[in-house]
Each structure stands twice: as C-alpha cells, then as structure tokens.
Chains A and B, each alone.
Chain A
Amino acid sequence: MPVSLTLNGKPVTLDTGDDRRLLWVLRDDLGLTGSKFGCGIGACGACTVLIDGKATRSCITELKAVAGKKVTTIEGLATGDKLAPVQEAFLDHLGFQCGYCTSGMIMTGQSILNANPKATREQVAAGLERNFCRCGAQVRIIDAIADAAKAPTAGAQK
C-alpha cells in the first residue's frame, strides 16, 4: 500500500512496502542520511526523527505508522536556510565530537522544547536519558538544548 505523509514540509507518497522501517526508507530510498543507524532496536536514539513534533525512533517505526503524519528529519529542521535555535545552540556549545549521535540529539532536543519550550537543564537531561553519546559530549548537549530553551522560537513545532 502506498503511504502518503508530509516529509520535511512537502507531501510525499511512498510505494515501497508499508512495513518497511522508516529509518531505511529515509536513508536508502530517499537519500536522507542525516538520521543514523546505531542499534536498530530503539535503544540509542541515533535515528530519532520528529513525527508530528514528537521524537520518534525511526529504526523501529514502520512506514505505515506515519501515514498522514508530519515527519521531520534533521535535513528539514532549519526553516529555509535559517537554522533552528537548537542547531544554533549546538554550534555555540559544540554539543558533539564525532557527530554521529548529533542529529538524534538535536531532534530529541527539539521534541523536548516542543513539549516544554521553557525546559530547564534538569528537564532537558531527563528527556535525553535514553540517548547515547559514546564520545562523551553529554554536558555540552544538555547545555546546548537548555540554552536553546531561552530562544523565543525554541519550541516552534516542526
């Protein structure tokens, strides 16, 4: 069954099997490689995308589950060429080293701010508990997202 959804602001219809995993549809079929594979079982957060503004692990999400929904990947987070405040904050705080967990962290951060645009440092940290960063950039990741919460448009739904 073809699946229609809004991907990074544009309507798309995908006819690739509705039980395909969203992560690999994004990466293999659409060339959107910003979402990463880390574990494949929903345990690490590297593959996180937003579905109707909420952080979702695309590696365990079937394509049919996003029918009719708004899916945003890291490639679609900026507005035009304006970076989102969370991305800005990751630049300012250097919230990464190898960068492999980064798009998942940024998308999770956006989701935290969507739910709570004034999230505190503690709330941010709690919201990241199920994401792993092997390089040990955690302190700066929390700093970045907590700092982004100070921007007026922090929680603008994506």
Chain B
Amino acid sequence: MTKRSDGSGAAAKGRRQRTLSEAAAEGRAIAARDAVERTAYANAAALASHDSEQSAGSGEFGFGGTMRRRDFVSLTATGLLISFSVKPLEGMARGRWNPANLQRPSPDFNAFVHIGADDRVTLLVGKIEMGQGVMTSLPQMAAEELNISIDKVDVVMGDTDLCPFDMGTYGSLSILALGPVLRAAAAEGKAVLMQMGSVKLGVPVDQLEVVDGILRSKADPSKRVSYGALTGGNRIERKVDGPAAMERVGDFTIIGISAPRRDAPAKVTGKAKYAGDIIPTGALHARILRAPAHGATLKSVDTSKAEAYPGARVVRAGSLIAVLHAHRDEADKALKLVVAEWNPSPSVLDDKNIFEHLEKHAPAPQTGRPRGNVAEGEAAAADIVATKYLKGYVAHAPMETHSAVTEIAADGKVTVWAGTQMPFGVQSQVAQALQLPPAKVRVITPFVGGGFGGKSVSNQAIESAVLAKAAGVPVRVIWDRSEEFFFDGFDPATVVNVRAGLTREKKITFWDYEVIAAGGRGLQEFYDIPHLRTNTRGTWGTGSGTLHPFNVGPWRAPGANANIWARESHIDALAAKAGMDPVEFRFSHLAGSARMATVLRTAVEKFGYKPKAQAAKPGQRANVGLGVALGIDAGTYVAGIAQVKLDRATGEITVERVVIAQDMGIVVNPIGAMQQLEGCVTQGLGYVLSEEVRFKNGEVLDKNFTTYTLPRFSWVPKIEGYLIANNELPPQGGGEPAIVLMGAMIGNAVFDLTGVRLTQLPFTKERVKAALG
C-alpha cells in the first residue's frame, strides 16, 4: 500500500542548490513514502540543451523528454515502428463498466511505438498533458515492457502531424484504455527484437535476456547487441492486433514505482509553454466582441473609435468582430471602444427557477437495467425516505483560459497551437471552418493549463484560425476570464429524486431513483438491494442551448458528482432511519461486493473510525462530524471519510481531515496517482462548499473569481490517501474517483454533527444557516 500521510513530503535534509542538469543527473528523491525512487531527471539535461534551439514555431514547449519535433518521415525512416489501435472501450469490455452508463461515442485510440537506430524509444500518442501526468506514466509502461530505462523513452503528444488519430483526453481513459494496448505494443516490439537478436547472435530466443535495451546471451553476456543496432539502417513495421505476452505484475521494475514527472523542470522554471505563450513573428492578439447574454443578438455596432486606437485593427470574419493588437492590454482597451447595442436574450431562466424548468422539460426517462420489482419492494417497506436533491451549474475554471494561436504559412499550411483536450477534433473543426482538407491543418498541443473536461470544446482555436485567415497575420486568442465563464460547458444543474425503503430488519428493500440532466455515471450499484430502478432523464451533455440556457458538458467525473452525492446522502438518511451507524449500515449491504467492502474497511481502519454504538442518534459527537461515502468511478473503487467542523453562527463548514482509500488495480505511478487523489479532494471542496454559477436571462453573472470562489488554501484539509494494491486488475482510472465522494462525505458529516440533511449543493454558508433554522 502506498501512503502519503502528512505534509512532510521529501526530506529537506542535505538540500543544496543544484543546477538543473545536476538535478537531472542525480536522480532525486520524490515524496511518496513507500515508493522506491530511482529514475533520474535525465531528460532535464536534454531539455536544457534544447533550449537554444527553441523557437515559437518548432519548440519543445519545455516538454521534458520529448523528441525534437522533427518530422514523422525522418523519424521513422529507419528503426522499428509498431502501430496499434485500441478497440472501442477495451478497458470497459471486462464488464466493470456498464455500457448503458456511457454517454460518449466509442473511443478509438491509436498510437505508435518507435524504436530508433539511436537506441531511443519514441511514443507517439494523441493524448495531451494537462497536469494528470500521462507524459510520465505512458513512457513508464512502454519502458517496462521493453526492458529499457525510462529515460530512453521519449514521448510526443497531441500533435496531429506526428501522432496517429486519437479521440481525445478525457474520462480517465489514457491509462485505463490505452495502457494495456500500449504495453502490448511495446511487448510486441520486444518480441520482434528478440527474434532479430536471436538470428544475429546465433542464440535461441529463450537463451536471451534484455537488460536496459541490450539483448544478450544468458550464458555468455559478451554476446550482445542493442535494440538500436538491430534495427539500424532498416525500416521495420509491425501492427499489433493480438495480445502479446506482457511482463507479469510480479516482474515489474518500472510500473508501480514513482517516476519523476517529466514536466517538472520546465514547470518550475517558467519554461513550460502553453498555447498562449507561443508567439509567432508578427502575431496579433484578438479580442472578440461578445454578446452580454446567451441569446442576445447584435442590433448595431460602431467600431470607428477602436479602429482609431494606435496599432489596432478591426477584423470581421463571419459573425466575429475582433479588435487586433500586438499587445494584449492594448487590445483590451481598444475593444472597450467598440460601441454595440444588443437585443436582449429571450431567456427567462435563472439559477433559482432552473430546477423547476429542468424537471418540466428534461427528456423522457430511460430506465436502466432494473432489479426485481420496485412496487413489490415498496410493499415490503416499513419505512420510506423520499428526498429531492439539487445541484447547481459548476464551471471548469481552469487557471489557463481557452487559448490558441494560428499561423498560416505561405504555402497555405495552417498550424494551430491550442490548449485543448481534443487536438484531432480541433483539426477537423478548423479544416471545416477554413474549407480545407484536414491534412492542411496541423494542431499542436503544448502543455495544457488544466482541462477537467472543459477543454474538450475548443472554439477559441477555430476563432484564431478564422481570424488569422481574415487578417493575414498569425492571431492569438486568449479568452478573458469572463469569456471563460460565459462559454464554458458547465457541469449541468441536476435534480435527483430518490425514494427508498427499509424493511423491519433494517435492510433496504427498494430504491427508486430518478436523475435529471446528469446521466447515469456513478450509479453502478454495489449495495445489496433487491428491488431497484434507475431512471435517467437526459445526460450531462444533453440539450445545450435548449434544456439549458448555455452550454453544458463533461466536468471531472461528469454526472457522477451529483449521482454519488445523492445516492450516498440517501444511503446515509436510510441508516439514520434505521438507527444504525452509517458505516455499519453500509457494511450490512455489501455482502455482494467484497472489493468495495475491502476499500471501506481500509478507510475505516486508517481513519480510526469508531461506530457510534451507543450514540445511535445524530448530533451526539462533540464538536466534529464524520461522514462516509463510497463510489465506483472509471473502474476504481473508492471510499472516503471526512471530518468537519461547523460554525453555526455563520454556517461555515470547515473540512479538517479527509481519508481516501482506493482500489485502482495496478498503480502505474504511485505518486502521480496520489497527486490526482489530492487534487480530487481539493478541487471537490469547491463544488461542495462554494461553486455555483449564477445567471439570469442568459447572462452569466459570474465574470471572474471575485464572485465565483474556487477553493482557497485555508480550506484544504489534511488529506490522507491509501492506494490498495490490486495487481490482479489492470490499471483503472485515477483522475476522478476521489472527487465523486466529496459532496456526500461532507454532507453526511454535517448530518452527523447536526442531524440536518443538506439537500442542495453547494453547501454555501447561507444555505447551511437556513437549513439549521
């Protein structure tokens, strides 16, 4: 089990100032307590030496350990190239995901592994790095299967000219779905090289071993040849379709061991490049005239004053009216000089009446695979609890606003640098907008400054392309914070209605669940409930512009935050009705899920949770409340316990401590997984305590962080994460599981403390005060 128990992190002992290349050479200790650290920042040195070669057009963006972006043809002229595709939902075919719960098209993942004559391995994958750490964990998997050290593996990501097609980076699928196939491809590469080595050395394959990319005879290690030497001068291609023999879990030497993040050196020195940092020669910022409200239409516009601003240009392209200037702050000023009149939005919705609207207008219910017969179950109920749960719209609010730059070369080739989760989607959208074949458009994804689902739509890239064409110069579009709030595809407002009943024996007899506008993610059932029905009315992606007054879309664990909050709150309410401790009540319904029971037991032990044997009624723990919640997300089983304090006078909730236990199968990079877990808990505080988009008549009233409050440092609890070793299972998703528990953990803890059930997210001070009465 890997644990990060306190704030201590890496030992400070003996720190001295190091240069970046010293740091590179020495292989430094990283924080994960039980993890063995052994890989070096070898690529930092490469990064430093590449520095002088960086230019806006062809630079490395400070990607540690990536190859230079030479073109694909020259890279693959020699060496061994293995291509592979991941059949739809490889990671889900094992039945751990209910396909009925998937609200997304079938992903089709593809990638290349290249083994070069220079002994370097290059992965070419269309995934992008937005902080989740795949730039490090994907090379780990390839290195493991090829028996080569990780610093010999380069990775090229999110470049449509270099990487094969990829649906996008979302849904915790990079490791879950791409991982097994990447490993198989690397294993296939090794098998091919073993064959070639056997011929070359005159040693049978089973007499060969590989040590860090060198094949040698087990009997006579002087008989040896490197991968690169084997492939040298020739071009060999293989396509993987069948499963190859992969390293067995027990033999792992790289997977499961915390690897230094490759993006680290660039990110602490300011060298990491994001789309807004790419400045082609002659590039101008574009600030686009925006409607004040969704649904408002332009009545009249006068741009003469803006045009007169020194250095500014006004460009119209399609429906876009933009002010261009070399300096962003001056473009801002010039945009303010545009005088526009608007017809008001017809929308009558606001953040108060939206729930009624959703209940009235959501699509007809779809019933998931029911269990038993709800009416029969209800007849057997001695007690029934029915509750309506409401959750508002939540913004993604990545610190990097949507940004893109487009440059059109003299030969017509379009290059777009975009902060996006969907480089290939952007490629086809830009091609369509410019009426070009997709091959004429190259999308390059530098580092992405946070996405959380919000950068799966990247209209800023299309805007920059259209304006670059109209203006005849490279155009940078960096959305202002108010544009980010206005155009975000929010996590939708959601209504959940639950009715459930208990038998006299304190067992749940039926569960009747209706969810509006969130879909079914998170509802994979693991409790023993004989009669169960789930009706979903619309998903998190349904009805943008009709059901909702603005765009909605995937937000970290889409739909699951609402569903698991409602389900786990209601389980808690049933436990209270039964007069049982909420942990014991859950255990008494987990006979059918040993895996979940193990996860819960771990959380209980690590927390030191004591059931309230004698304090069966809420409100009897002295000053703190404890709340538990369980969930399954992206194949990962997760349990959490939170401890909260409450200021009854102000309604302010303080979360003091959160313990998370999760079984995510094989853990590829423990420290990366722990960072994701901590991120989930911290980000989750926002949608639980403060984050809710306010709007009225099509206008998004939150325009900046002054009114829309993200979690602050003082809110962050002590976070303890435990990753339960489960090497029987391939790696499952790790970017989202812990966040889905936050609503219920905190709400249940408040109930534990006060006996009051909070039924609307977020639990703002005002709402808590009102609920306490």
A residues with a Cβ closer than 8 A to B are 16-17, 20-21, 23-25, 27-29, 31-41, 43-44, 46, 73-75, 78-85, 87-94, 96-103, 106, 121, 125-126, 128-144, 146-147, 150-151, 153
Contact = CB atoms under 8 A, between A and B. Distances in A.
Sorted nearest first, the 7 A-B pairs with minimum C-beta distance are A34-B270, A100-B449, A136-B682, A98-B131, A97-B131, A136-B679, A74-B270
B679 A83 contact: no
B10 A93 contact: yes
A20 B327 contact: yes
Given A92-B30, A137-B678, A139-B678, 20 more contacts: A24-B328, A28-B326, A34-B269, A38-B481, A44-B399, A44-B705, A87-B268, A88-B18, A90-B268, A93-B31, A94-B675, A99-B267, A99-B447, A101-B399, A102-B272, A135-B679, A136-B680, A137-B679, A143-B7, A151-B15
A94 B399 contact: no
Interface-centre pick from A20, A83, A99 (highest chain B CB count, 10 A): A99
Contacts of B449: 36, 98-100
Contacts of A41: 481, 704-706
A23 to B, nearest CB: 8
Interface of B: 7-10, 12, 15, 17-21, 23, 28-31, 48, 130-133, 261, 263-274, 276-277, 279, 285, 326-330, 332, 397-401, 447-452, 478, 480-481, 671, 675, 678-683, 704-706, 710-714, 716, 719
Given A37-B478, A100-B449, A131 B713 contact: yes
A83 B269 contact: yes
B18 A139 contact: no
Given A33-B277, A85-B17, A98 B271 contact: no
A24 B267 contact: no
B12 A98 contact: no
A37 B585 CA distance: 49
Contacts of A20: 327, 329-330
B12 A29 contact: no
A34 B279 CA distance: 13
Nearest to B479: A37
B683 A82 contact: no
A36 B274 CA distance: 9
A58 to B, nearest CB: 11
Nearest to B325: A28
Nearest to B328: A24
Interface-centre pick from B30, B452, B675, B706 (highest chain A CB count, 10 A): B675
A97 B675 contact: yes
9 contacts: A40-B481, A44-B705, A74-B270, A81-B20, A85-B17, A94-B671, A94-B675, A96-B264, A139-B7
Interface-centre pick from B19, B269, B397, B714 (highest chain A CB count, 10 A): B269
A88 B277 contact: no
A43 B327 CA distance: 21
A129 B711 CA distance: 10
Contacts of B7: 121, 139, 142-143, 146
A55 to B, nearest CB: 14
B716 A138 contact: yes
Contacts of A125: 713-714
Given A83-B23, A143-B9, A151-B12, A91 B265 contact: yes
A138 B713 contact: yes
A34 B399 contact: no
A35 B710 CA distance: 20
